[in-house]
Each structure stands twice: as C-alpha cells, then as structure tokens.
Structure 1
Amino acid sequence: MAFGRTSLGSTPTGGRSIGAGGQRPLSDINVTPLVDVMLVLLVIFIITAPLMASSIKLDLPRTDAGKPNETPKFVSLVVDASGKVFLNDRAVTSDELAAGLAKAAADSRDTEVQLRADQAVPYGKVVELMGIANKAGLSRIGFVTEAPPPQPPK
C-alpha cells in the first residue's frame, strides 16, 4: 500500500472491528428528547410571559358600594294551576301583588323576580304578572323550571 500502514485488526476506516461484520459504536448524542423538552418550555414561557408582564400593582380605593359576597335579592312569584298568585309564599290579590313588588323595587332596583308558573297556567296570565312586575320597576325576571327526570340508558 502506498498510502500508509494498516495493522491487523483495523478496518479501512480506521476504527476497530468488533468481530466479523461488526459496526462501530455510535458516539453521537441523541438530542431529540432535549429538543422536545426545550420546545415545551418555550411554549410555557410564551403563554405565561404576557400574564406576568401585565401584573400591575395597584392600591385600589375601598368602598362599601358593592360587596362581592352579597347574595342577590329576589322575590318569589308563584302561580298555581288554578291561577292563584303567591308572593314570597303568601297568597295575594292583584293589588297586594302590585304593592309588594313596588316595595321590593323601592328597596333595590336590582331585585330579581323568580317566576314559577304551573304548566296549566295560560300564557296570558304569565304575561300579565310580568307586566305588573315591570310597572313596579322590576325588570329582571327569571323563570324557574324543573329538570326532566333522567332517561334510562338504551
């Protein structure tokens, strides 16, 4: 050979042979797990960085105007199947209903009317009660319903 000497047990590429037809040991570092972890950290930092940058320390003024743990006020208005009206579980006439709702509106304009009406009550009666509540100054009306019974699996 004109290019250099080779010794016994060497391969033409210069590495040691591991038996007949063996391969060289792999000496490269597998960076795939490192890249995966770095990409996950990058996404986390991209998402959280704007949240941390907008945290401005403020010393807010204190007031008793709106307390977050106050429960909203409501009055219960019930109409049974015969058309009889109940305000806060007390039977009332049409005049007593208007006066009771006006008093509730005077206490707080945010008072909600929770209206429960039997299925047999005509729509006109429900609309009439909504009109009385609206005239009294209560515009927040919630219709209370009952959840249907659960259906057995088929």
Structure 2
Amino acid sequence: MGKNDFDRELGTYLSRRKKAEIPDIIKWVKSFVPKPTPPPVKVQLPEDVQTYEEEKPAAKPKVQEVQLEEYPSEKQNVLSFVLDKLNKIGLLAKKPKVSEEEQEIQIKQIVAKEMVQKDLRELSKIALIAIKKLPDEDRKEFKESAEFDALKKILKKHDLIK
C-alpha cells in the first residue's frame, strides 16, 4: 500500500469517525435561564357574552395537609433509624471530652509503650548475638534450659517471634 492509498484511507476513516461533541456552554447556561413568557392576550369580548370561571375543588388542600403531617414523622423515623444504625456501628460514638492534662498523660503512655517495644527489640537482638557467639556445646545446653523457654515465651508475648 502506497503513501497515497494510506492517506486516502486515513482521510475516509477520520471523516466517517464520530467526532466528539464539544459541549455548548451557551446552550447549557440558557437552559437554566427562565424563558420569557409572552404577555397575556387581552381579548375584549362583547358585552353580551357571559364568562364562567370554574371552581377548584376544595378537597385537594386537605389531602396535601395530611401528606404534610405524615411526612415529618416519616422523615424523623427514617432519620432516627439511620442514626441508630450508625451508633450501633460506632461511627457516631460520642467520645468523652478529655482535658489537656489527660491527653498529655495518654500521649506519654503511648510513647512509653512504643519505647518499651523498641527496647525489647534491641534486647532481643543483643541476646541473639550473644547466643550465637557461645560455643556449640554451651549453645545446645542453653537451648535445652528453662531460660531459653522463658526467653521464647517473652518474645512471643511481644510478637517479636512467631
């Protein structure tokens, strides 16, 4: 296929391809602007003609009042239902107000726990290095002792080993 054939095929493809519609902002804005209403047509009727006006039924406002009375109760029921569900999940759980001193104490406790965890990790690393430096006979003897079991329990307790 030569260059001319390719160009021709590309041209037909592009011309047939559906072009993306560019949104017309002016039409979009005009859709929100209220349309002007034509002025009312005034027709002068001869004096002989009598006009009748239809009476609107009075029953409709009563129905609307009943619906208005029922709607707030339904809305309240739905709202209370949703709030109850959220409270059960714990999303709207009210947290007790904590003074600044109590917050500082809680922060210090959290930091202290983290520091203890880091210190335990360092101690376990040091103990492992010391155990590896022991001669083979002493290492085997230590692994069979109660101290080794106690060390394993402590390390498991603090999630330092599996």
TM-score, normalised by the number of residues in structure 1: 0.31
Q: Which of the pair has the greater relative contact order for Cα pairs under 8 Å at 6+ separation? A: 1
> Which has more helix, going by share of residues?
2
> Which is greater in Rg?
2
> Which has more strand, going by share of residues?
1
